Amino acid sequence: MNIKISLASLLLITLQLNAFNALAETAEEKGLAIAVESDKRETGFTDSTAKMTMELRNKQGDTSVRHIRIKSLEVEGDGDKSMSIFDQPADVKGTAFLTFSHAQQADEQWLYLPSIKRVKRINSKNKSGPFMGSEFAYEDIASQEVEKYTYKYLRDETLNGIDCFVIERIPAYEHSGYTRQIGWINKAEYRPEQIVFYDRKNSLLKTLSYNGYQKYLGQYWRADQLSMVNHQTEKSTTLKWSDYKFKTGLTDTDFSRNSLKRAK
């Protein structure tokens, strides 16, 4: 028996199979795929430096400002290394913060305090504490490796005119300060536009907004401004970034514990 299928029928069958496969993908699989693609587009920058202004705002609207330099080093097969060096004001000048992010193990973090000339290791169970009095926790400062969370795709949604995937991510780290996070991921560029954080009681805690994205080296998107609002305390912190440089030749020796004391 001869069976003849027209080109149009074959095309229709193919479209139906593709639609079936798309429906067969679970919400967890789609959420993970979005996270993996986002991470993939960030890979390969090697190292970077930047300047950052941190603006702390209390409930009454009073503001204090800190000036910081940031160094980052990409680590193949693991989380990135980063160092934050405080230049102003005088009471924090010389303070340096070092992070070794890890994909599947607890991050390692150290803080150098020039007033006592001592390097203090941050307890792995205390990553939910505020970083230098800001609304960013220690765990927010570390690089966000895919393996640090489990994921679930929730829906498509437009945010500030931008077509986004909305995904939920749940920290795999047992001492995280969050039960879950909801992220809005730009569909075209796979970059975060907003993240909403829920505390250990699963109550709304903070919202992080990304603004003023610019592309570097024809590939890497960096936001000029990150704004974290704490809904429970009504405090906020704004990070303003500038003077990005990539592939500057930084190495592991620039991110050792000893380098904290001589950071300039």
44-78 per-position pLDDT tens digit: 999 999 999 999 999 999 999 999 999 999 998 88
Write out the H or E segment, with its range, that includes residue 223.
strand 220-230
Specify the number of domains making up the chain.
Answer: 2
pLDDT of residue 33: 97
The verdict on 127 and 14 lying in the same domain is: no
The verdict on 37 and 120 lying in the same domain is: no
The verdict on 144 and 67 lying in the same domain is: yes
Model confidence at 21: pLDDT above 60: no
Q: Check if the beta carbon of residue 112 is closer than 8 Å to that of residue 260.
A: yes
The verdict on 8 and 60 lying in the same domain is: no
Model confidence at 3: pLDDT above 60: no
pLDDT of residue 6: 57
The verdict on 175 and 244 lying in the same domain is: yes
Q: Please give the share of the chain, as a percent, with pLDDT higher than 90.
A: 70
The verdict on 54 and 137 lying in the same domain is: yes
For residue 16, what are the domain limits? 2-41
Measured CA to CA, the distance from residue 98 to residue 100 in angstroms comes to 7
Q: What's the mean pLDDT in 247-255?
A: 94
pLDDT of residue 2: 43
The verdict on 21 and 46 lying in the same domain is: no
The verdict on 34 and 49 lying in the same domain is: no
The verdict on 58 and 146 lying in the same domain is: yes
Q: Which residue has the higher pLDDT, 128 or 10?
A: 128
Q: CB neighbours (10 Å) of residue 163? A: 12
pLDDT of residue 1: 41
CA 219-161-223 angle, 5° bins: 35
The verdict on 56 and 10 lying in the same domain is: no
The verdict on 20 and 133 lying in the same domain is: no
165-204 per-position pLDDT tens digit: 999 999 998 888 999 999 999 999 999 999 999 999 999 9
pLDDT of residue 24: 65
Measured CA to CA, the distance from residue 145 to residue 36 in angstroms comes to 9
Which CATH number do you get for residue 184? Answer: 2.50.20.10
Overall residue count recorded for the chain in this entry: 264
The verdict on 37 and 108 lying in the same domain is: no
